[in-house]
Homo-oligomer: A and B are copies of this chain.
Amino acid sequence: MKSFNFLLDIERENKPRENGLTMVLDKGLGLENAESLMKISGEYVDFLKFGWGTSIVHDRDIIKDKVEMYKSFDIVPYTGGTLFEIAYKNNKLDDFFKEAHDLGFETIEISDGSINIPHENKLESIELAKNEGFKILSEVGKKDPNLDKQLSLDERIDLMQSELDAGSSLVIVEAREGGKDIGIFDASGKAKDDEIDYIVGNFDKDKILWEAPNKDQQVFFILKLGNSVNLGNVSTDDITSLETLRRGLRGDTLGKL
């Protein structure tokens, strides 16, 4: 039972959820530290991303233990998109799928944020991974702001739709760890309202996961699109904060949901 449970008036769906998803970015937490955090707030984490290529520099044993630990809290751990891109670039997709499987990952992210992948090849990779038994999150957007700006809104939506059609479960809108000057955020980290309107007017919003690493961005999305918006790249420090924002239990959203 929750403390002060009589004050919990905004309900949330239980996991596994269809929307209101929270994706958290793990930059390399120790196993015990992560487990202590999950004991208090793991029920509010839907997806847990092993950030970019971090797993490559960590021991297999510890990655296996972390994957298993996260799963024990009904969290879906998955490999960050950069890891796929490195495997793709090195022509090692088969080894990548096998190792991801052996480590216990059942979901992987497929992206082309850091390297150039012809879009038909990205779609093929999505299908390939699906056939290998993985659930796929795919990400649209470039990590380099100058390249990212070359994508028009209509192009972005077309890419998103074709990735969904190819078998992606959810499409992630890139914002990196910092959330500034990238995708739908300007240089100060402020969200571009009209662009978001256009995207949600032309794409199933339950199939979008918005990277929104900063609190102001999380507040913005919750107030704009409702508390069942899917949000990602949430810092491990902010898991509880985000859940209280979704429930109207922090000043920024209290009485506004």
**Which A residues are closer than 8 A to B by beta carbons?**
1-9, 27-33, 35-41, 44, 51-60, 62-63, 82-83, 85-87, 89-90, 92, 95-96, 99, 103, 113-115, 143-144, 176-178, 215, 237-241, 243-244, 247, 249-252, 254-255
Contacts and interface: CB of A to CB of B under 8 A. Distances in A.
A31 B36 contact: yes
Residue of A8, A28, A35 with most partner-chain B CB within 10 A: A28
The majority secondary structure among interface residues of chain A is helix
Given A32-B36, A115-B254, A244 B53 contact: yes
A94 to B, nearest CB: 10
Contacts of A55: 3-4
28 contacts: A2-B57, A3-B58, A3-B99, A4-B55, A4-B87, A4-B99, A6-B90, A6-B95, A7-B53, A7-B90, A27-B237, A27-B240, A28-B41, A28-B240, A30-B36, A30-B37, A31-B40, A33-B37, A40-B62, A52-B244, A54-B244, A54-B249, A58-B240, A82-B249, A82-B251, A85-B254, A114-B254, A177-B215
A172 to B, nearest CB: 14
Contacts of A6: 90, 92, 95, 99
A89 B255 contact: yes
A197 B250 CA distance: 31
A238 B27 contact: yes
Given A27-B237, A114-B251, A2 B60 contact: yes
A58 B2 contact: yes
A27 B241 contact: yes
Contacts of A87: 4, 7
Contact of A7 (B32, B38, B92): B92
A250 to B, nearest CB: 5
B60 A1 contact: yes
Contact of A33 (B3, B33, B238, B251): B33
Contacts of A52: 244, 249-251
A63 B3 contact: yes
Contacts of A37: 29-30, 33
Contacts of A114: 251, 254-255
Contacts of A29: 36-37, 40
